[in-house]
Amino acid sequence: MKFTAPDPTFYPSARLAMEGPREKLGYVVALAADGGSASGNPDALAVIDLNPDSPEYGRIIHWLAVPAIGDELHHFGWNACSSALCPYAPHPHLERRYLVIPGIRSSRIYIVDTKANPRRPEIVKQIEPEELVRKTGYTRPHTVHCGPDGIYVSALGNEKGEGPGGIFILDHFSFEPLGRWEMDRGPQVFAYDFWWHINQDILISSEWGAPWMLEDGLLPEQLMKGAYGRALHVWDLRKRRHLQTLDVGEKQQMVLEVRPAHDPRKSYGFTGVVISLEDLSSSVWLWYRDGDNWAIRKIIEIPAEPAKEEELPPLLKSFRAVPPVLTDIDLSLDDRFLYLSCWGTGELLQYDVTDPFHPKRISSLHLGGITRREAHPRLPQKPLNGGCQMVEISRDGKRVYLTNSLYRAWDEQFYPEGIRGWMALAHAGDDGLHWDERFLVEFPLTHRAHQIRLQGGDCSTDSFCFP
Amino acid sequence: MTRFLPWAVALGLGAFHGLNPAMGWLFAVALGYQEGRKRAIVQAVGALVVGHCLAVGAAVMLFWVAGIWLPWHGIAVGAAVLLAGFGFYWLLRARHPRWVGMRVGFRDLVFWAFLMATAHGAGLMLLPVLGTAGLCGQGAGWLPLGEALGVAVVHSVGYWAVALGISLFVFEKIGLSFLRKAWWNLDLLWGTALLLAAGTLLLFPQQAGH
């Protein structure tokens, strides 16, 4: 515990965080391609060298295998971040030290210490699924957010694999699950991602589906019925009560990542909708404060691309099109650029959202994709599969990191030949995006890459109580 | 000179409490930035000092009422145990409670400052001062109520001046980067101060005796 100053990676405001030093290490979860059961391969946390001056730049420098098999490591987050400087619960001498890594299939949670040696982190604690269910009633933990008063984690469902999913809290020090977060969930059943307008006491949560609708793959008959999630939920963060449902319409399916503006004075944010049942398009929606209530509207639509039947996986053959499958979005700390990854077409899109109601498309890149198989400039002869999926932006907004696996059971449906894991880096300059030709991390064939966390914080970790 | 010492200590402790970001000035700065005006800070500190004063006043009243029935020695030991308990809690604390959010009005801020001060044992820290005030004030007999409450008020003035001064200074002059550099771990200092107060009571209980 430092005595004289807070953790140097805590910033009062997003503006100050952008001035912080460049990240030198990245942490990426890698899941066993066969689910671990056949091979006995456990999932892992890969440490990637992100220092361009290092001889190991763009390489996996450490592989921390977890002890159990079949966890499906997916999303994860830091134990503490800039929200520790929030004035109503200031805990400035916490440290950004532990990665909280849930297994979305096993419901086990690993606590990984990165302090002793950031290049070789170690597992220091494990929360077993039985304990999680007993204390919270939830399973399938997903998003991890460092709150001022504890660690908030969303979960997709209950012990039976049904709804409701929700949010639970882990203690800042012991990491013990403290219990269910919601006092009154109103009509909310589905869960997925969540974040907050921290200075406005508002939490926003999104909807994917109940675990039974996800774990054996995308269920086409459920999708055609419009049974997957189609709304955002607005909550009173302080009273832990449901306030409002923001429905994006019965033809819209799966509302995933939520990205509120980082400036705590702004009252808007962005969310991505995976697929429209009308035309297979993906879309980005803007939620915003409208008088005493909140409202939502579509601001970006990404159309499906026509394709030949023989190029498509069985799931998509009858549609003769590649849906964009917008699975992740990320907002730079200055609230200026929104990045969209379309896992189906392999496209990374950059929009200027300075005026959030009128986004401007700035540039785009391709890598992988169901029919495109776009290669990377480092290996121009080698077609890549999977597509731009998890996206993470450096604090200064200049580097955009990507990986290509979505969720094991769904990977097989969209890329039946099996995803070969990669991680790439795009530089965001004044002239738009371009690939870093030196940076293409190929994961071992046994494992696929999912979420990325950057040393010292990134654009989907910290929340700021000061503008 | 010694006659003014307890009052000076009460004022000094108030300043010390005002210095602690967890006692309010940080909150005032954040509200100032959120609303983009200095007035929000002045109003917030105004509410915070009321809450702080109520918490300290409540502790002082409890102490004063206890003094009617109990011998000073008993109170000193009891208060020392409480102080040590709070001190160890803040040195080895295990929880991060949440009482309010960021959309706060006057009442919320009073409530928050009251809870923060009480949970941190801010009022208890004043008890050794009250002991000496009793000694230096009237001589024989129990400390007059007016004087006891006066200590709470003087203390709050110290708190108000420092909290307002720091929050305006950060807001108007040095800016937010200050929070990254100069933020002493006052929880440690605080826990230590509570233990020191407990020690004072245990070591010198006779000072305040009749």
Residue A277 — φ and ψ, nearest 5°?
-70, -15
Residues of chain A in contact with residue B191, where contact means CB-CB under 8 angstroms, are none
Alpha-carbon distance of A202 to B59, in angstroms, equals 35
pLDDT at B138 over 90: no
Q: Which residue of A has its CA nearest to B92?
A: A173
Threshold 0.90, pTM exceeds: yes
Alpha-carbon distance of B124 to B80, in angstroms, equals 9
Residue A301, Cα to own-chain centre: how many angstroms?
20
Whether the upstream peptide bond of residue B71 has omega within 30° of 0, thus cis, is no
pLDDT at B72 over 80: no
Q: Which residue of B has its CA nearest to A263?
A: B34
Alpha-carbon distance of A125 to B43, in angstroms, equals 45
Q: Write down the pLDDT at residue B136.
A: 43
Nearest to A88 among B94, B95, B112 (CB): B112
pLDDT in tens, A361-389: 999 999 999 999 999 999 999 999 999 99
CB contact under 8 A, B187 and A93: yes
Residues of chain B in contact with residue A467, where contact means CB-CB under 8 angstroms, are 33-34
Q: Write down the pLDDT at residue B78.
A: 83
Residues of chain B in contact with residue A148, where contact means CB-CB under 8 angstroms, are 96, 98
ipTM rounded to 2 decimals: 0.82
Contact B92, B162 (CB under 8 A): no
Nearest to B26 among A90, A172, A265 (CB): A90
pLDDT in tens, B89-130: 766 665 677 777 888 889 999 999 998 888 778 888 887 777
pLDDT at B68 over 50: yes
Structural domains for chain A: 14-454 (2.130.10.10)
CB contact under 8 A, A90 and B101: no
Q: Write down the pLDDT at residue B3.
A: 74
Per-residue pLDDT of chain A (467 residues; tens, 9 = 90+): 556 788 999 999 999 999 999 999 999 999 999 887 777 899 999 999 999 999 999 999 999 999 999 999 999 999 999 999 998 888 888 899 999 999 999 999 999 999 999 999 999 999 999 999 999 999 999 999 999 999 999 999 999 999 999 999 999 989 999 999 999 999 999 999 999 999 999 999 999 999 999 999 999 999 999 999 999 999 999 999 999 999 999 999 999 999 999 999 999 999 999 999 999 999 999 999 999 999 999 999 999 999 999 999 999 999 999 999 999 999 999 999 999 999 999 999 999 999 999 999 999 999 999 999 999 999 999 999 999 999 999 999 999 999 999 999 999 999 999 999 999 999 999 889 999 999 999 999 999 999 999 999 999 999 999 99
CB contact under 8 A, A466 and B95: no
- Scanning the structure block, which residue is given the tokens 């001190």? B87
How far apart are the CA of A443 and the nearest CA of chain B, in angstroms?
37
Q: DSSP letter at B23?
A: G
Total residue length of chain A: 467
pLDDT tier at B83, thresholds 50, 70, 90: confident
How far apart are the CA of B83 and the nearest CA of chain A, in angstroms?
22
Cα distances (Å, whole numbers) of residue B13 to A35, A60, A171, B17, B123: 60, 54, 32, 6, 10
Rounded mean pLDDT, B157-171: 96
Sequence-ordered alpha helix ranges (H) in chain B: 5-19, 25-35, 38-69, 72-91, 106-119, 127-136, 145-169, 178-181, 186-203
How far apart are the CA of A57 and the nearest CA of chain B, in angstroms?
30
Nearest to B96 among A4, A87, A149 (CB): A149
SS3 A56: coil
Chain A segment 202-241 residues within 8 A of B by beta carbon are: 237-238
SS3 B160: helix
> By the CB < 8 Å criterion, does A4 face chain B?
yes
> By the CB < 8 Å criterion, does A8 face chain B?
yes
The first and second tokens of residue A344, run together, are 């189906």
How far apart are the CA of B174 and the nearest CA of chain A, in angstroms?
13
How far apart are the CA of B98 and the nearest CA of chain A, in angstroms?
6
Handedness of CA A9, A458, A122, A95 (dihedral sign): positive
Residues of chain B in contact with residue A4, where contact means CB-CB under 8 angstroms, are 182-185
How far apart are the CA of B173 and the nearest CA of chain A, in angstroms?
16
Nearest to B176 among A12, A91, A93 (CB): A12
Alpha-carbon distance of A31 to B77, in angstroms, equals 59
Residues of chain B in contact with residue A171, where contact means CB-CB under 8 angstroms, are 94-96
CB contact under 8 A, A466 and B21: no
